[in-house]
Structure 1
Amino acid sequence: MDTETQHTERDRSSDREEGPRSVLSGRLPDRLSRRLAGRSWRGPGLLGLACAVFLLLLSQFVVQPFQIPSGSMEPTLRIGDRVLVNKLAYRFGSEPRRGDVVVFDGTGSFVREAPERDPVTGLLHATGAALGLTEPADTHFVKRVVGVGGDRVTCCDKGGRVEVNGVPVDEGYLHPGDAPSQVPFDIVVPRGTLWVMGDHRSQSRDSRDHLGEPGGGVVPVDKVIGRADWIGWPFGRWGSPAPTGAFRDVPEVPEARTPGGGHG
């Protein structure tokens, strides 16, 4: 028997047997790795998208972060604070009360119309603002409710204080050193609207500054986005804005009163 021939045949046979194995061991893992890599990216990507959609829906209907852009509400709210606006606060028949800190759309009252934006830029800015990552729209404001529909709000009495329905209000939330107002005014707030002012009166453009404009300085209740209930950022300021008892002695106005828009 030719042993050399046997060895040659055995070697060729082993080559044929090992050939497919080398293909399986070489190419198949590459394909699997590519598929696995695609799946590994797809999972976190879908999860991130779902989280973003959830946050946008949450901010649209329940609670929205709002970045404080100015010092008009100091010391209650400071520049850069992120407050969480409770959008359900006035959804079920409740209305803003004196002393509430509210976020509202000032279109038609504090600004005549919304500024035009490039659609893409506007969408990106709106998304960032909804997540509290950028400053709010130019038409959105945060102020404190001082008068509700039917109230007569005047300034100032002999002690330099704001009066609501004839009762002087001790506004302990004001910025230290600020007067309640340097501008005298006397207005009966129309039903369905609010008279709002900043806590840092010398740095706030509020209802006082818009008295002579078409909106009369008051904000329609249906333009209120929500109540600023919590400070979520920075961590050192976690908590709710301090409640105020400044308006506890103010009497309610009978529904029979016909509100006028006069000011003096």
Structure 2
Amino acid sequence: MTETSVPADDTSVRLRRRSQKKGALLFVRDVLVIFVVALLVSFLIKTFLVRSFFIPSSSMEQTLQIDDRILVNELVPDLVELQRGDVVVFRDPGGWLPPTAKPTQPPLVAAVDWVMSAVGLSASDSDDHLIKRVIGLPGDHVVCCNTLGQLTVNGVPLQEPYVTVPAGVTSVSKDAFDVTVPANSLWVMGDNRYNSKDSRYNREQPGNGFVPVDNVVGRAFVISWPSARWEWLDNYPSVFAGIRESNG
């Protein structure tokens, strides 16, 4: 009985095809590994370091415009202390936001949005959060307003260049108040003072207008979109430099 020999050319073709198939499978495997690692890293960054939000209202104009995208440092306040002047994102303390129904999305769109939100590329929960500027820290005595229409913190008047008020108005707030910030709480105000439902506006809510520090998601530090508005967000340390530290 004679054996049928396989031509060398056919063997070479078979080996080449097998090698190409194996190479393609390895490429697909590597792409999937890179994708999963990228998702995991993005998820960890979004959960513990940096998170994206969009601005849904005009309460922080002119500092922030409607639909601006911002990046938030989530190390504040757990590892980095809050400062007066910080622009912070926080969860509703209760009654600050009207109840809203989440829009119904097709399953595929909802799945994509969930993935994008998980890695920090989407901010689908921005409507559940607020963004304001910290004016008073725990123990601070915040009063509005002195004879020049300025806020005072611990008796020190503030010259606030970031505040927007209607033309011809000299007071930085249309509502007078005199509050001492409780422990573990903040007094926050919008830069668009006459169009901001902030601490002053919510004094009759359960928390009396104060925001628990535990509700703070982080400090906004940059406008990331649109590109024409890219800039770092200032907390204006010079505005608050003369304030003595409270005992709160």
TM-score bracket relative to the smaller structure? 0.7 to 0.9
Q: Distance in 1 between matches of 2:231 and 2:78?
A: 23
Return 5+ residue gaps in structure 2 as ranges: none
Which of 46, 49, 53 is 1:62 aligned to?
49
Greater radius of gyration (CA): 1
Give the counterpart letter for 2:70 in structure 1. V
- The secondary structure found in structure 2 opposite 1:207 is coil
Task: Give the corresponding residue for 2:37.
Answer: 50
Q: Distance in 2 between matches of 1:170 and 1:87?
A: 28
* Alpha-carbon distance, 1:42 to partner: 2.4
Identity %: 37
Partner of 2:244: 251
Q: TM-score, normalised by structure 1?
A: 0.75
Q: Superposition RMSD on alpha carbons, in Å? A: 3.3
Q: How does 1:74-153 map to 2 (within 5 A)?
A: 74-92=61-79, 94-108=80-94, 110-111=96-97, 121=110, 124-125=113-114, 127-128=116-117, 131-153=120-142
The verdict on how the C-alpha distance between 1:81 and 1:137 changes in structure 2, with shifts beyond 3 A counting, is closer
Superposed displacement of residue 71, structure 1: 2.4
SS at match of 2:222: strand
Q: Partner of 2:207: helix, strand, or coil?
A: coil
What is the letter of the counterpart of residue 45 of structure 2?
Answer: L
| Residue 161 of structure 1 pairs with residue 150 of structure 2 | yes
C-alpha distance 225-32 of structure 1, shift in aligned 2 (>3 A): same
Q: For residues 117-174 of structure 1, what are the alpha-carbon distances to aligned partners after superposition, in whole Å with 9 as ceiling and x for unaligned?
A: 99x8599448527514234343222110011112222223322222222332221101
* Residue 50 of structure 1, CA deviation: 0.8
Q: What is the DSSP-based 3-state SS (H/G/I as helix, E as strand, rest coil) of the residue aligned with 1:209?
A: coil
CA contact (8 A) 1:66 1:83 kept: yes
Q: How many residues align?
A: 239
Instruction: Measure the CA separation in 1 of the matches of 2:150 and 2:125.
Output: 32
Following TM superposition, by how much is the alpha carbon of 1:190 offset from its aligned partner in structure 2, in angstroms? 1.0
1 or 2 for the larger relative contact order (CA 8 Å, sep ≥6)? 2
Normalising to structure 2: TM-score of the pair?
0.79
Unpaired segments ≥5 residues, structure 1: 1-12, 256-264
Deviations 1:37-65 (A, max 9, x none): 33322222221221111011012112222
Looking at structure 1, the residues matched to 103 and 67 of structure 2 have their Cα atoms a distance apart, in angstroms, of 24
Range moving further from structure 2, 31-40 or 237-246: 31-40
Q: For 1:215-230, what aligned pairs fall within 5 Å after superposition?
A: 215-230=207-222
How far apart, CA to CA, are the structure 2 residues paired with 1:122 and 1:251? 50
Confirm or deny: 8 A CA contact 2:55 2:68 kept in the other structure.
yes
Whichever residue aligns with residue 248 of structure 1, its letter is A
